[in-house]
């Protein structure tokens, strides 16, 4: 039903942005590109960014939290101070600086956001490991001669997945909206990459003449966030023993 490439302009309309028509069911943007096509491709970039950052940041956070919670003592004390220092770093300032120096790309955004997005999950994984490391089944695994890695990854970590399962849908929803905000402010993906935030920025510039540029990207963002949050609520209820 959508015959347009996200980078292709409709040369048959008189002016840009053009309203809804049979050729462009959601209208066109300020360069004549089909809004529906750019919404679909923008979803691919948004969900791809969110999943990559979620995987990398949760991997770093789980490793750090597991190490602090299992080792305890000075490792836990120094690790917590390191996490507190990392939390005070102005991420947005660093991101703005790097984008102003280099061309923004998906890889750069993923690396920066992942590098500063792992602290929250590390707290929960640390707490789970502190709670589980002295349980009877862990002591039994040690008494049977299990190595440290086997005890951590086979016995403790599977029982510490509650926070990961519970928070993941909400984290992914937050990352989708974060990319839209960055694109809206001009610090996200480089043009002409299709993105929802870039369409909303165009809507701001053409607010009185192109209402469809505000309505359809906002609706797509709203529906995506609602679905992800409903998934998060369902997962949280499923894993909650109470």
pLDDT of residue 134: 83
Q: Is 123 exposed, middle or buried (0-12, 13-18, 19+ CB in 10 A)?
A: middle
Q: Are 58 and 164 in contact (CB under 8 A)?
A: yes
**Spatial contact of 175 and 50, defined as CB atoms under 8 Å apart:** yes
pLDDT per position as a tens digit, 107-131: 989 998 999 889 999 999 999 999 8
| Cα dihedral across residues 182, 46, 58, 173: positive or negative | positive
Place of tokens 């929802």: 196
Place of tokens 């480089």: 190
What would the pLDDT profile of 17-30 be if each residue is shown by its tens digit? 888 988 899 999 98
Q: Which of left, alpha, beta for 27 (phi over 0: left; psi -120 to 50: alpha)?
A: left
Would the pTM count as exceeding 0.75? yes
8 A C-beta contact, residue 35 and residue 29: yes
Q: Which residue has the tokens 């009185």?
A: 208
Model confidence over 65-87: pLDDT tens digits? 999 998 888 999 999 999 988 88
């Amino acid at each position: 039903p959508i015959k347009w490439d996200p980078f292709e302009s409709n040369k048959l309309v008189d002016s840009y942005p053009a309203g809804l028509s049979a050729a462009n069911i959601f209208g066109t943007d300020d360069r004549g590109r089909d809004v529906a096509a750019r919404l679909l491709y923008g979803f691919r970039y948004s969900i791809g960014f969110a999943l990559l950052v979620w995987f990398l940041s949760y991997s770093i956070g789980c490793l750090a939290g597991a190490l602090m919670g299992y080792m305890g003592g000075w490792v836990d004390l120094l690790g917590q101070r390191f996490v507190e220092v990392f939390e005070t770093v102005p991420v947005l300032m660093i991101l703005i600086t790097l984008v102003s120096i280099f061309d923004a790309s998906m890889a750069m955004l993923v690396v920066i956001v992942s590098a500063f997005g792992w602290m929250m999950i590390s707290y929960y994984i640390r707490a789970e490991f502190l709670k589980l490391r002295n349980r009877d089944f862990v002591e039994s695994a040690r008494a049977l001669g299990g190595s440290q890695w086997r005890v951590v990854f086979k016995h403790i970590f599977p029982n510490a997945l509650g926070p990961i399962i519970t928070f993941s849908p909400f984290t992914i929803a937050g990352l989708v909206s974060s990319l839209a905000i960055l694109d809206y402010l001009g610090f996200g993906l480089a043009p002409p990459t299709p993105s929802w935030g870039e369409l909303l920025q165009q809507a701001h510039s053409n607010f009185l003449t192109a209402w469809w540029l505000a309505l359809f990207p906002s609706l797509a963002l709203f529906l995506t966030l609602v679905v992800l949050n409903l998934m998060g609520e369902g997962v949280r209820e499923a894993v909650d023993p109470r």
